[in-house]
Structure 1
């Protein structure tokens, strides 16, 4: 699984100096003979090519720190996604590796600064976990060290990655509603154009098509994927005559589902007697705390962390300076349904307590 990386010979050739000179300058070898101009040229060349001093030291000494860096893009502050860290940590412990965590933001400068901080710790590889499923431009510094992405893919496909099966999870969620007899199913979705939004809409449509239920675009309402957005979207799709109103809602995530609960209550709709709701994410503080408890689809956070650490361990075994794949296809992990109490069969016509 090794991929091509910039080598010390590449830096030496570009800077017009010997390999030894590059090694001495980037590793701050005492008494190394090099002018200030040469030092600056070598360092700027190494930075431009994405080659770190710690990488050179490892390749020359053939040593490993047995430490793995986990660059967490805000996920350390979210309890549900913290299972990514747990999955990676347990997989690392089994291999005798230590996980070093840095929580960063989505700001490009912060990411670059925190990536550099990890590399200064001489980590043997990096796991880069993003806040939500999307495509990213790999930080420059990570081109010189084995790297695996979690919950994202690289724009050029140059590194292994693992993502949730967004379409499959939505398909399972909507099939749960169809299995209970619902045919008019609304979709409260995200307004951001990201892979999760596209995948969940595709899963919703596929489940309807297989059940021979005609897709009605009026039942799909997009808002910001937070509780207020879920409330606003649910009010829009539910506040209509009973004959035109959906008997069930599939919500983009559990936060939007929480907003849908509020909208249903304001309209006098009981869950699940008058309206069934299924969420996505399985944020347990929300899903178990709602009344009735929310049926939802679980994101495989633990499994993604575990898979990514295993893939990184394999990547580290190879010769990082050898030829590698031109691109990697992301690993896609399934999203299982977690049944609770928010789904029931639709009420027969004329029997609703919500009118």
Structure 2
């Protein structure tokens, strides 16, 4: 029978430490806070199991290429990708790093394709950034731990790789707070049932804001498709449900800007003026939608540029040995999602 391949995860399990710690010890990563006792335990486990380190990976630790890889899960074909890539590129330039990009296909399962990671390792990348569209957790291939790695828009299921995500829950709560301060009490949410982290975060944020204002978080929530047609359907249900003007919502907060497009159409068909009769707010600040609507749509901006820059900055620190991945990996770093106020919000007329 062929001998079972011993990987870095096997060494980590035998030594009772994280994969990241094993990588630091076996690659002699400088400036880490690993104790001598832990180092000894890791090396003993590696020897006992017969672990053979990847020679290419070891070379990467001692012979920097000045190149980092950005592996994207179809974000390069989405409207948001440009800002992530721009933030990453400009931050890479500040650190004298070259950014290489591979655009991967969208997967139904939250994992990273090993062959795409290997493509960066074969080109001697000093580090790897993985950016995903929907998944809140991903499974990383073992050899991705051969070099420092960072995640954008996802968490490492094993909690060993630093990650950055937008704080969509707080962003949604801030919308409700703004509407309440503007005078609104009947605030509806045009939600979606698509089971992704953004759906959960934005609904929770809406509920947080409503409860903080002493308002019923369930009275005016309608789910629909997360496109313009769904926004139209949800808004028609919210504003024209046999309600008198005194009971009708005075503000509709939409799950995203595409739904807000449909909300504008629904308001027009009902003879309602925006924002005099109803205020409408979106989420994503997805160009060119907000500026193309009339009046221009108030919305919440996702910090795509900032996430790209954070990822490269964090990765650069890990490559240089000045970062502390173990402390940063257990919980994703959350970046604020600011409200961009335009012309679609006004005090209620009633």
TM-score when scaled to structure 2?
A: 0.80
SS at match of 1:197: helix
Partner residue, 2:259: 256
SS at match of 1:3: helix
The Cα RMSD (Å) is 2.6
Post-superposition shift, 1:266?
Answer: 2.3
State whether residues 74 and 133 of structure 2, in contact with CA within 8 Å, keep that contact through their aligned partners in structure 1: yes
Partner residue, 1:117: 119
Distance in 1 between the 2:56 and 2:228 partners? Answer: 45
- Asked whether 1:316 is paired with 2:333, we answer no
Closer/same/farther in 2, CA of residues 274 and 52 from structure 1, 3 Å limit: farther
- Asked whether 1:236 is paired with 2:237, we answer yes
- The 5 Å alignment of 1:339-350 reads 339-348=341-350
Q: Size of the alignment, in residue pairs? A: 310
Closer/same/farther in 2, CA of residues 131 and 324 from structure 1, 3 Å limit: closer
Partner residue, 1:224: 225
Partner residue, 2:281: 278
State whether residues 192 and 223 of structure 2, in contact with CA within 8 Å, keep that contact through their aligned partners in structure 1: yes
Partner residue, 2:155: 153
Post-superposition shift, 1:13?
Answer: 6.1
Partner residue, 1:266: 269
Post-superposition shift, 1:193?
Answer: 2.8
Closer/same/farther in 2, CA of residues 205 and 316 from structure 1, 3 Å limit: same
SS at match of 2:84: helix
Post-superposition shift, 1:229?
Answer: 2.2
Closer/same/farther in 2, CA of residues 232 and 134 from structure 1, 3 Å limit: farther
Closer/same/farther in 2, CA of residues 70 and 327 from structure 1, 3 Å limit: closer
Closer/same/farther in 2, CA of residues 272 and 221 from structure 1, 3 Å limit: same
- The counterpart of 1:186, out of the listed 185, 188, 200, is 188
After superposition, what is the alpha-carbon deviation per residue over 1:63-106, rounded to whole angstroms, capped at 9, x for unaligned?
01110000111111123332111111111101110000111112
- The 5 Å alignment of 1:39-78 reads 52-59=54-61, 62-78=62-78
Post-superposition shift, 1:213?
Answer: 2.0
Closer/same/farther in 2, CA of residues 113 and 238 from structure 1, 3 Å limit: farther
Gap runs ≥5 in structure 1: 17-21, 23-50, 349-355
Closer/same/farther in 2, CA of residues 337 and 326 from structure 1, 3 Å limit: closer
Distance in 1 between the 2:251 and 2:326 partners? Answer: 48
Largest Rg, 1 or 2? 1
Distance in 2 between the 1:261 and 1:331 partners? Answer: 35
Partner residue, 1:172: 174
Post-superposition shift, 1:164?
Answer: 0.8
Gap runs ≥5 in structure 2: 1-18, 28-42
